[in-house]
């Protein structure tokens, strides 16, 4: 695993280094959540995740209000994926999209927070970008329900595209892809590389979380599903994933190169997205990368 991840870093021109959490942003975003009346007992454990994502991957954005919103969007989203999928709360996740569409009160304060955040998308992005961000978030909610419904479903080799379908829903890639670019940047400057950005966003996370998930014995992650559906070893699936991700990254760079503002935003994002994965120990990368860091 160490060698595969080291190769990924090298091929993308990256250097591994540990990054500390931005305490000033953590304080400011937490205060904003308190001011909004969010249930901090539920959301605070996920705030570091939101801050790390925003301050590293999206630190290049200039609009402060958008960055705070993005942080809260991430923290509440991860809280939904984790806390709210527990047996005592899951009914509220099942009803979320219906209640959101019908403008009905949500049944849990975490879901209310997510509802409010999605309705604020239009404050930060114009249509159609705001539309795609919201539908991406709704798909993310549905993907958690899909995972719940298919928990023990055997993966068939006759449907090798299913893991891809499931992963694209769960990654909220339209949201996080559009977040890369300033809202003032015309859509036509970057929209053609969105499919490649979706691959980069999802697969980079899958590559860098693989070690953590392996030592925790997780068997329902994307790499495990791919390996099962195509009769591959997980190591072979990881190598394929790295190949696809590097190609998508290079595709995005090539397309964006003649468009300096979009190019610079993507380069800043990609560097920061890697730092996000090293910023607070969640992915345990320091355990496998410390020996390699000097040679990358």
pLDDT of 279 reads: 84
Q: Evaluate if residue 276 carries a pLDDT over 70.
A: yes
Q: Evaluate if residue 40 carries a pLDDT over 70.
A: yes
pLDDT of 295 reads: 33
**What confidence tens digit (pLDDT) does each residue in 232-264 have?**
999 999 999 999 999 999 999 999 999 999 999
Instruction: Tell me: do 199 and 284 sit in the same domain.
Output: yes
Instruction: Tell me: do 5 and 47 sit in the same domain.
Output: no
Instruction: Tell me: do 186 and 98 sit in the same domain.
Output: no
Q: Is 206 domain-assigned?
A: yes
**What confidence tens digit (pLDDT) does each residue in 142-171 have?**
999 999 999 889 988 999 999 999 999 999
**What confidence tens digit (pLDDT) does each residue in 50-95 have?**
999 999 999 999 999 999 999 999 999 999 999 999 999 999 999 9
* Sign of the alpha-carbon torsion through 38, 40, 42, 44: positive
Instruction: Tell me: do 196 and 67 sit in the same domain.
Output: no
Q: Is 149 domain-assigned?
A: no
**What confidence tens digit (pLDDT) does each residue in 103-150 have?**
999 999 999 999 999 999 999 999 999 999 999 999 999 999 999 999
Q: Is 270 domain-assigned?
A: yes
Examine the fold and report which residue of 124, 143, 178 is the final residue of a domain before the chain moves on.
124
Instruction: Tell me: do 288 and 215 sit in the same domain.
Output: yes
Instruction: Tell me: do 1 and 32 sit in the same domain.
Output: no
Q: Is 96 domain-assigned?
A: yes
Q: Are 95 and 107 in contact (CB under 8 A)?
A: yes
Domain of 45 in residue numbering reads as 19-124
Q: How far apart are CA 41 and CA 113, in angstroms?
A: 13
Residue range 194-220: average pLDDT?
Answer: 91
Q: Is 83 domain-assigned?
A: yes
Q: How far apart are CA 214 and CA 184, in angstroms?
A: 41
Q: Evaluate if residue 189 carries a pLDDT over 90.
A: yes
Q: Are 269 and 57 in contact (CB under 8 A)?
A: yes
Average pLDDT over the chain, rounded to an integer: 93
CATH number of the CATH domain containing 181? 1.10.600.10
Instruction: Tell me: do 87 and 192 sit in the same domain.
Output: no
* pLDDT band per the 50, 70, 90 thresholds, residue 292: very low
Q: Are 84 and 108 in contact (CB under 8 A)?
A: yes
Q: Evaluate if residue 293 carries a pLDDT over 50.
A: no
Instruction: Tell me: do 166 and 288 sit in the same domain.
Output: yes
Instruction: Tell me: do 227 and 161 sit in the same domain.
Output: yes
Q: Is 146 domain-assigned?
A: no
Q: Evaluate if residue 294 carries a pLDDT over 70.
A: no
Of all residues in the chain, the percent with pLDDT exceeding 90 is 79
How many structural domains is the chain composed of? 2
Q: Evaluate if residue 18 carries a pLDDT over 90.
A: no
Instruction: Tell me: do 167 and 296 sit in the same domain.
Output: yes
Instruction: Tell me: do 81 and 195 sit in the same domain.
Output: no
Q: How far apart are CA 212 and CA 217, in angstroms?
A: 9
């Amino acid at each position: 695993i160490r060698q595969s991840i080291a190769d990924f870093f090298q091929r993308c021109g990256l250097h591994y280094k540990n990054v500390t959490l931005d305490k000033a942003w953590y304080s400011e975003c937490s205060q904003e959540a308190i001011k909004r009346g969010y249930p901090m007992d539920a959301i605070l454990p996920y705030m570091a995740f939101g801050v790390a994502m925003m301050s590293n991957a999206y630190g290049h954005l200039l609009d402060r209000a958008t960055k705070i919103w993005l942080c809260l969007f991430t923290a509440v989203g991860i809280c939904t994926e984790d806390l709210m999928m527990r047996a005592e709360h899951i009914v509220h996740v099942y009803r979320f999209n219906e209640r959101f569409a019908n403008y009905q009160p949500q049944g849990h304060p975490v879901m209310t927070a997510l509802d409010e955040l999605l309705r604020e998308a239009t404050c930060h992005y114009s249509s159609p970008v705001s539309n795609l961000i919201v539908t991406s978030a709704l798909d993310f909610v549905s993907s958690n329900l899909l995972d719940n419904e298919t928990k023990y479903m055997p993966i068939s080799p006759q449907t090798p595209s299913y893991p891809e379908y499931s992963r694209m829903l769960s990654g909220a890639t339209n949201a996080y892809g559009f977040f890369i670019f300033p809202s003032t940047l015309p859509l036509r400057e970057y929209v053609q590389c969105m499919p490649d950005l979706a691959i980069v966003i999802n697969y980079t996370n899958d590559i860098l979380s693989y070690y953590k998930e392996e030592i925790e014995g997780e068997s329902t992650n994307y790499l495990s599903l791919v390996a099962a559906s195509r009769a591959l070893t997980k190591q072979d699936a990881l190598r394929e994933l790295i190949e696809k991700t590097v190609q998508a990254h290079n595709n995005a760079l090539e397309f964006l190169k003649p468009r300096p503002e979009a190019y610079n935003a993507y380069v800043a994002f990609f560097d920061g997205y890697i730092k996000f994965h090293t910023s607070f120990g969640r992915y345990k990368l320091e355990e496998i990368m410390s020996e390699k860091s000097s040679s990358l």
